[in-house]
């Protein structure tokens, strides 16, 4: 569970930073969330399609709430299985911390951490069907819908209303708390940490090219101009790309459309694709031109063959990219870069319409079939509380979900890696206060839309040779699938 593997998908945190998550689908390689055929294939002949659909409640049914929460609190008891996404070292540290804190406060609840396996998604669905899934697992909006749409995720909104006061909720970031509600109106989990897309920049390369460092006033024109000046080519060989941005990723293309005044899908009618609008196509063209015409934005196939991952942080440290538009990983980047270069974080430049980036919704989710829901909810509340958030910050350096912990976060980061004092860590808290991060609007049938849209993104931005007008045909296909 070690290493940094990046295929250009959402850099959800794992162990050492942005990776193609262990056990989770890779979007940039053309893989999507598990299809019904793939899921059935892992059960063998003993489980029929009808049995699978029945167990999962079909497309919209509900699984039985085996141990539905009652009053919770002191009456909660039992063993809670928590499927953990992180390194073995982090798992052991989390287990020890939870045992010594939560375990003492709640002696009737035993927490057992289990590592997320390879092929996590398929195996988790299989466990749900078999009735032995972990009580608490970790997921996010794009990933959790495959479980929630089949009635396998507990809606925690009633529990939040029961146990949290309005004043308590003010300690969470408004945009992230809002985005934990799915189109089905269920609140799918408790936030785990905050990740936001920023621009990483190599100060050494900027200095060498005589380019001023990016700041909050930068526009997309400034972005492209700097990328051109920072790109270093020797004949047909590009030694340094001015910018790396995985637009081909399902969960990374959409916010650029919004920065140009477009949308991927209507927030009023999730069955209506809008990525074929004039403004959306302008955003697509800005990226296409930077990759294929100007050749200043990284070309995916020049980094690694399809199906093979690449380490974005290591390539950034080696000077392959002058700028990278990716997540916020202080500890992992300090460890990977190891003082080889001088670098910093900056807000992603504002688009013609506004500034907008992905702000993640990674969180703890409760399986609806859990037989210890009271105990699981007590654990989730604890994990989302201040004590565990401080401990998680000390272990990972990730932005906490609580504003009350934010002041400690920067100090903890610099104590661990003193060189982080010079990378503009303040950009993280500033983005939280500015409120421009967020998650995408989901399609009415999001998995179906993804199956059509993901290959189209790859065709235009990875393979090349296809104009962005192609998305007009793709929008028609997606809209037809929404009926």
pLDDT of the residue at 68 = 60
Q: How far apart are CA 21 and CA 75, in angstroms?
A: 36
Q: Give the mean pLDDT of 10-26.
A: 36
Looking at the predicted structure, is the pLDDT value of residue 23 above 60? no
Query: How far does Cα 102 stand from its chain's mean position?
Result: 27
Nearest residue to 367 via CA among 352, 378, 381, 377: 377
Looking at the predicted structure, is the pLDDT value of residue 369 above 80? yes
pLDDT of the residue at 19 = 37
Looking at the predicted structure, is the pLDDT value of residue 457 above 90? yes
pLDDT of the residue at 48 = 38
Please list, in sequence order, all residues whose beta carbon lies within 8 angstroms of the beta carbon of residue 165, skipping any fewer than 6 positions away.
none
Q: How many CB atoms lie within 10 A of CB 291?
A: 22
Q: Give the mean pLDDT of 271-299.
A: 98
pLDDT of the residue at 150 = 87
- The two tokens of residue 287 are 């990226």
pLDDT > 70 in the chain, percent: 85
| Mean pLDDT, the chain, integer | 87
Residue 125 pLDDT grade (very low, low, confident, very high; cuts 50, 70, 90) = very high
Q: Is 7 in contact with 252 (CB distance < 8 Å)?
A: no
Q: Is residue 415 left, alpha or beta, with left meaning phi > 0 and alpha meaning psi from -120 to 50?
A: alpha
pLDDT of the residue at 56 = 52
What are the tens digits of pLDDT across the range 48-95? 333 444 445 544 344 445 556 666 666 899 999 999 998 898 899 999
Q: Give the mean pLDDT of 194-221.
A: 97
Q: Give the mean pLDDT of 115-124.
A: 95
Q: Is residue 280 left, alpha or beta, with left meaning phi > 0 and alpha meaning psi from -120 to 50?
A: alpha
Strands 136-139 and 363-366, sheet pairing: antiparallel
Q: For the chain, what is the largest distance between any 2 Cα atoms, rounded to a whole number of angstroms? A: 71
Looking at the predicted structure, is the pLDDT value of residue 374 above 90? yes
DSSP strand E in 136-249: where? 136-139, 190-191, 198-202, 232-234, 237-240
DSSP run (H or E) holding 324? strand 323-326
Q: How far apart are CA 300 and CA 247, in angstroms?
A: 10
pLDDT of the residue at 53 = 42
All structural domains of the chain, each given as residue ranges with its CATH number in brackets, are 33-193+362-401 (3.40.190.10), 198-358+440-481 (3.40.190.10)
Q: Where are the alpha helices (DSSP H) in 320-445?
A: 330-337, 373-383, 386-396, 403-416, 427-434
Q: Is 248 in contact with 457 (CB distance < 8 Å)?
A: yes
395 — phi, psi (to 5°)? -85, -40
What are the tens digits of pLDDT across the range 208-222? 999 999 999 999 999
Q: Is 365 in contact with 377 (CB distance < 8 Å)?
A: no
- The two tokens of residue 463 are 């393979």
Q: How far apart are CA 243 and CA 325, in angstroms?
A: 8
Q: Which is higher by pLDDT, 28 or 468?
A: 468
pLDDT of the residue at 42 = 34
User: 254: helix, coil or strand?
Assistant: helix
């Amino acid at each position: 569970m070690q290493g940094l593997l990046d295929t250009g998908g959402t850099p959800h945190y794992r162990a050492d930073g942005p990776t193609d998550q262990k056990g989770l689908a890779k979007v940039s390689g053309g893989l999507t969330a598990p299809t019904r055929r793939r899921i059935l294939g892992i059960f063998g002949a003993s489980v029929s399609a009808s049995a699978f659909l029945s167990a999962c409640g079909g497309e919209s049914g509900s699984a039985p709430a085996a141990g539905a929460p009652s009053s919770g609190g002191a009456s909660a008891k039992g063993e809670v299985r928590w499927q953990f996404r992180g390194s073995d070292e982090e798992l052991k540290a989390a287990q020890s911390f939870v045992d010594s804190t939560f375990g003492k406060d709640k002696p009737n609840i035993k927490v057992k951490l289990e590592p997320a396996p390879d092929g996590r998604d398929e195996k988790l669905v299989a466990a749900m069907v078999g009735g032995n899934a972990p009580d608490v697992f970790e997921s996010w909006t794009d990933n959790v819908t495959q479980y929630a749409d089949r009635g396998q995720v507990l809606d925690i909104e009633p529990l939040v209303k029961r146990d949290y006061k309005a004043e308590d909720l003010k300690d969470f970031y408004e945009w992230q708390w809002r985005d934990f509600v799915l189109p089905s109106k269920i609140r799918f989990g408790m936030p785990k940490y905050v990740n936001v897309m920023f621009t990483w920049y190599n100060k050494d390369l900027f200095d060498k090219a005589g380019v001023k460092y990016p700041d909050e006033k930068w526009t997309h024109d400034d972005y492209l101009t700097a990328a051109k000046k920072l790109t270093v080519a020797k004949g047909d060989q590009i030694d340094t790309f001015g910018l790396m941005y995985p637009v081909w990723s399902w969960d990374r293309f959409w916010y650029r459309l919004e920065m140009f005044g477009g949308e991927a899908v209507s927030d009023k009618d999730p069955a209506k694709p809008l990525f074929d609008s004039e403004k959306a196509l302008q955003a697509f063209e800005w990226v296409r031109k930077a990759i294929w015409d100007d050749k200043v934005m990284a070309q995916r196939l020049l980094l690694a063959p399809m199906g093979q991952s690449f380490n974005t942080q290591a390539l950034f440290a080696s000077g392959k990219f002058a700028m990278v538009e990716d997540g916020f990983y202080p500890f992992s980047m300090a460890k990977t870069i190891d003082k080889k270069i001088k670098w910093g974080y900056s807000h992603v430049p504002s688009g013609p319409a506004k500034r907008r980036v992905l702000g993640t919704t990674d969180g703890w989710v409760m399986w609806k079939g859990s037989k210890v829901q009271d105990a699981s909810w007590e654990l989730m509340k604890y994990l989302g509380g201040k004590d565990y958030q401080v401990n998680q910050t000390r272990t990972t350096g990730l932005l906490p979900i609580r504003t009350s912990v934010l002041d400690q976060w920067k100090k903890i980061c610099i104590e661990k890696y003193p060189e982080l004092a010079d990378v503009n860590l303040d950009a993280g808290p500033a983005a939280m206060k500015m409120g421009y991060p967020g998650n995408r609007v989901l399609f009415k049938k999001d998995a179906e839309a993804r199956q059509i849209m993901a290959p189209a993104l790859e065709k235009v931005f990875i393979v090349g040779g296809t104009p962005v007008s192609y998305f007009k045909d793709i929008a028609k296909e997606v809209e037809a699938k929404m009926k």
